[in-house]
């Protein structure tokens, strides 16, 4: 098989040795690596990026504290893309032309860059470029830090050659997870036969039929898609013998985790990543997410970009990517809500523990009983529907300040009963919050609205 993707085995070997060394060091060793890589990043950005040269004017990259540097947003960076990147041959027009063709997903752009696009869930679609060094970091972190739920099986078969791996997600564009799967299929001829991608945007019946025919032993997908597959398994439609499910890209609640494990009879492992940094966090044997702090810095901040203390959930988080000097990301507003744990994990890892709430769904501003505005938080609404109504595959959309539209992905004889439970739970919760009488409009047996990446925004505010 002719390999046309980005891969440098020498760089991968060097990074892998360092990743293994960190696994055995203490937190001070992690911080030393972080500091050295930050200085290198700042020097490269100031030297090679017109945008960062402007933003860092007057700062000494060898001395300036990270907190003194300005915050950047995706909108600003994408508007000045050609000035942002450090390779003048990279232009936004060329990259957009490349990503139009989904058939070349996983191929190397200009013979040396991996390219993927984001769906624009934050309001602005993005295009992200990785060179061989960055991909070596991702490869090493994924291979050496992800804790396997079946250690003995992975010790016997570390490359998963005896597994059949299904990625269930969006396959219509150069999205990070899909592009990564296609790249691995190019690098490993065996995986070209035993690993496949399945579109989450197709009808559920067609997706289930394809998975049944492929018979995967591992599934990699989003938590909302995993919940959908769990429902299909419980109804008897999905008939696969899955041993592991890997989730990422969205928040994985405890209830969804338990539902998937029960329905599919498998182990589940969660990870934390984004288009901006593919492998930010991994789940250890104790069930905690660890931040790969030797290669990425996350700053939990409030709405004014002020740091929040350990243990407190942030309003957003600022990302600094220590491996990518081609497309520098320094104090980039990622939009996720996270909290850092100040205590070491019982698993013994020197890497910090984080808790991730994920991208923010939208709060709903509803009419109160006394003509006031009442805000219903998306996390509360999600919890109510999951815990009280037992529904996990849904989308709640605000029509006006007195009307909610609830769309369920469920079907069959249980759908009407599930909708009734949801309506009762929503009406009771809204009343307890001081909301005036609300109407819940039903949308049954309809596909959930997804972005181009296949991800679901489960709570959506009224559009202006």
What pLDDT score was predicted for residue 121? Answer: 47
What pLDDT score was predicted for residue 196? Answer: 96
Mean pLDDT of the chain: 89
SS3 call for 196: strand
SS3 call for 99: helix
What pLDDT score was predicted for residue 454? Answer: 59
What pLDDT score was predicted for residue 315? Answer: 87
Helical residues (DSSP H) of 398-450, grouped into ranges: 414-432
How many Å apart are CA 295 and CA 38, to the nearest integer?
A: 9
Closest C-alpha among 285, 303, 421, 287 to residue 360: 303
How many Å apart are CA 108 and CA 117, to the nearest integer?
A: 14
Tokens of 74: 């995706």
Cα three-residue angle 128-132-49, rounded to 5 degrees: 50
The superfamily in CATH containing domain 9-359 is ANL, N-terminal domain (3.40.50.12780)
Closest C-alpha among 205, 275, 277 to residue 454: 275
pLDDT under 50: residue ranges of the chain: 1-2, 121-123, 156
What pLDDT score was predicted for residue 424? Answer: 96
What pLDDT score was predicted for residue 122? Answer: 46
What pLDDT score was predicted for residue 15? Answer: 96
Closest C-alpha among 196, 182, 127, 249 to residue 7: 182
Which fold, 364-460?
Answer: GMP Synthetase; Chain A, domain 3 (3.30.300)
DSSP characters over 227-262: HHHHHHHHTT------SEEEE-SS---HHHHHHHHH
271, 293 in Cβ contact below 8 A? no
Widest distance between CA atoms in the chain: 69
Terminal-residue alpha carbon distance, the chain: 51
Gyration radius of the chain's alpha carbons: 22
Domain(s) labelled CATH 3.30.300.30 in the chain stretch across 364-460
What pLDDT score was predicted for residue 153? Answer: 55
Q: Which residues contact 313 (CB under 8 A, 6 or more apart)?
A: 300, 337, 338, 339, 355, 357
How many residues in the chain?
464
Closest C-alpha among 299, 273, 277 to residue 358: 273
pLDDT digits 0-9 by tens, 299-332: 999 989 999 999 999 989 999 999 999 999 999 9
What pLDDT score was predicted for residue 201? Answer: 74
């Amino acid at each position: 098989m002719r390999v046309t993707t980005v891969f440098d085995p020498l760089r991968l070997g060097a990074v892998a040795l360092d990743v293994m060394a960190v696994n055995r060091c203490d937190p001070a060793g992690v911080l030393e690596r972080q500091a050295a890589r930050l200085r290198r990043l700042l020097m490269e950005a100031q030297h090679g990026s017109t945008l960062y040269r402007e933003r860092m004017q007057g700062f000494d990259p060898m001395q300036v504290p990270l907190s003194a540097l300005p915050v950047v947003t995706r909108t600003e960076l994408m508007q000045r893309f050609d000035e942002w990147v450090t390779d003048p041959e990279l232009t936004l027009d060329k990259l957009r032309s490349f990503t139009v063709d989904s058939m070349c997903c996983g191929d190397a752009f200009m013979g040396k860059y991996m390219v993927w696009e984001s769906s624009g869930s934050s309001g602005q679609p993005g295009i992200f470029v990785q060179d061989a060094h960055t991909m070596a970091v991702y490869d090493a972190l994924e291979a050496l830090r992800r804790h396997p739920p079946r250690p003995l099986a992975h010790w016997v078969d570390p490359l998963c050659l005896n597994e059949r791996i299904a990625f269930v997600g969006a396959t219509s564009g150069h999205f990070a997870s899909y592009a990564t799967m296609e790249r691995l299929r190019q690098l490993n001829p065996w995986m070209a036969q035993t690993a496949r991608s399945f579109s989450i945007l197709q009808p559920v019946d067609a997706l289930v039929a394809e998975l049944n025919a492929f018979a995967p032993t591992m599934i990699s997908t989003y938590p909302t898609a995993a919940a959908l597959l769990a429902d299909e398994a419980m109804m008897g439609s999905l008939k696969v013998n899955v041993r592991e499910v890997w989730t990422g890209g969205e928040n994985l609640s405890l209830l969804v985790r338990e539902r998937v494990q029960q329905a599919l009879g498998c182990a589940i492992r969660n990870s934390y990543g984004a288009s901006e940094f593919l492998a930010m966090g991994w789940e250890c044997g104790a069930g905690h997410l660890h931040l790969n702090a030797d290669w990425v810095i996350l700053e939990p901040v409030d709405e004014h970009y002020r740091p929040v203390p350990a243990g407190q959930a942030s309003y957003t988080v600022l990302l600094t990517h220590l491996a990518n000097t081609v497309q520098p990301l320094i104090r980039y507003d990622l939009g996720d809500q996270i909290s850092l744990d100040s205590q070491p994990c019982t698993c013994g890892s020197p890497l910090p523990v984080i808790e991730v709430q994920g991208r923010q769904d939208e709060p709903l501003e509803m009419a109160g009983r006394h003509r006031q505005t009442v805000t219903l938080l998306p996390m509360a609404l999600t919890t109510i529907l999951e815990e009280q109504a037992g529904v996990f595959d849904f989308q709640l959309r605000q029509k006006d300040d007195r009307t909610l539209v609830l769309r369920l992905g469920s079907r069959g004889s249980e759908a009407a009963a599930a909708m009734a439970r949801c309506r009762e739970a929503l009406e009771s919760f809204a009343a307890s919050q001081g909301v005036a009488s609300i109407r819940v409009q039903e949308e049954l047996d309809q596909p959930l609205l997804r972005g181009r990446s296949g991800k679901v925004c489960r709570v959506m505010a009224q559009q202006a």
